Every structure is written in C-alpha cells, then in structure tokens.
Chain A
Amino acid sequence: DTEVTQTPKHLVMGMTNKKSLKCEQHMGHRAMYWYKQKAKKPPELMFVYSYEKLSINESVPSRFSPECPNSSLLNLHLHALQPEDSALYLCASSQERGSGANVLTFGAGSRLTVL
C-alpha cells in the first residue's frame, strides 16, 4: 500500500459546526503532515507529527486542532471556522529512504467549504 487516504473528499460546514478530517497511511511512515492550499496558491505547512508527537506547529489558529492517535492515523479537528478557512487540506507522510531526504507522499486532499 503506497497511498495516503483522506476522508472526506468534500466537506461543507457552518461556522458553528465541529467536524474532523481524517488521514490514514499504512506505509510505516513515521512523520505525518497537514498542509493547507488555497485556490491557485502553493500548499502551506500547518503541522508536523514525528513519531506520533507534534513537532511543528506553524502558528496555526486554535480552531484547528491536530491529533495523531497512532502511527497510521492523523486527524484535524475543526471548530468555529471562518469562511476564509475554505481550502484544500492535504495530508502527507514521509519516511527515510537512506538518501538523505524524506520525500513526502501526499493524499488526494479534503476540500473544505465554510459557509
């Protein structure tokens, strides 16, 4: 299995809702990432988990709450979002390949619309 699976593919939510995005990989990768991509823009890093511990938080607002229940799963809990948070949320994972660099494998993304 060489995939990163994200659910749901599409999500529409109101500003008072609580929802979650899910990400799963079974490649044994030890680092997992959340990126946010607005339309026609490059992806921007939000969070990095390394060995199930949060290692990087790029000053993301607290209405986004990541969780890594185990080495294969990564969640992004959403609460009280704003319309400007509408974007494609990409999950990725990576593992050392012995070449001095970890190449990220991205999921297909969850497209979020906040009304």
Chain B
Amino acid sequence: ELKVEQNPLFLSMQEGKNYTIYCNYSTTSDRLYWYRQDPGKSLESLFVLLSNGAVKQEGRLMASLDTKARLSTLHITAAVHDLSATYFCAVDRGHFGNEKLTFGTGTRLTIIP
C-alpha cells in the first residue's frame, strides 16, 4: 500500500524566513504533484514533477523531486502572509489518463507577520 507522508504537519513561521516541507513516499512513482488548499476551499495545482531531479519554481515556491530517495521538497523563500494555507503533495499510482492520486498528510502553514 502506498504511503505518502509529509513533515512537518504544522508549520508556523515568520514573514521573510525560509523553510522546507518534505514529502516522502513508499513506492516507486515518477509523477508527483503539489497542491495548495485554503481553509474551506478547493485544491489549487502548484507543481507537477515528472522525473528524477525535476525542479520547478513559481514565485516564492520551489519544488524538487528525487525519485531514488522517494522524496520531494517544497521550499518557501522569504515567506509572506498570503502563503498561509495547507500544502499537499500527491503521488500518482495509476496509469496516464487514469490518475490515482494518493495525497500526503498535508502541512498546515501559518505565516506570522
């Protein structure tokens, strides 16, 4: 059974600081996604990582994938308040066109002014 674990589960950080969220998964996969969810809202796609060593950046967020270590990271640079949300990684265990995403436990990020 595929397990996807994130740490930390909760993260409270000051504005302007840097931090990293880690996503570990238990079986081989070469497709990993990061999503953001605001309280009471739906999920917004942030990044798709498709190969070992893939790195994607958007604004203050950067995601990377190490398929050999079964590890993805989401790095936050110089955090600002509007990045406060819950972040999920998700590993695809299905076939192309029949995505079966298993979501990680989620990291609830709070940015303190």
Contact = CB atoms under 8 A, between A and B. Distances in A.
Bind each other:
yes
Contacts, number: 65
B104 A99 contact: no
B104 A102 contact: no
A56 B94 contact: yes
A34 to B, nearest CB: 12
B25 interface: no
Nearest to B46: A103
Given A42-B104, A43-B103, A48-B98, A100 B50 contact: yes
> Which range holds the interface residue count of chain A?
20 to 34
A31 B50 contact: no
Contacts of A105: 45
Contacts of A60: none
B97 interface: yes
Interface of B: 31, 33, 41-45, 48, 50, 88, 92, 94, 96-106
Interface of A: 30-31, 33, 40-45, 48, 50, 55-56, 90, 94, 96, 99-109
Given A56-B100, A96-B97, 20 more contacts: A30-B97, A33-B99, A41-B106, A42-B88, A42-B105, A44-B103, A55-B98, A56-B98, A90-B43, A96-B96, A99-B48, A100-B31, A100-B50, A101-B48, A104-B43, A104-B101, A105-B45, A106-B43, A108-B41, A109-B42
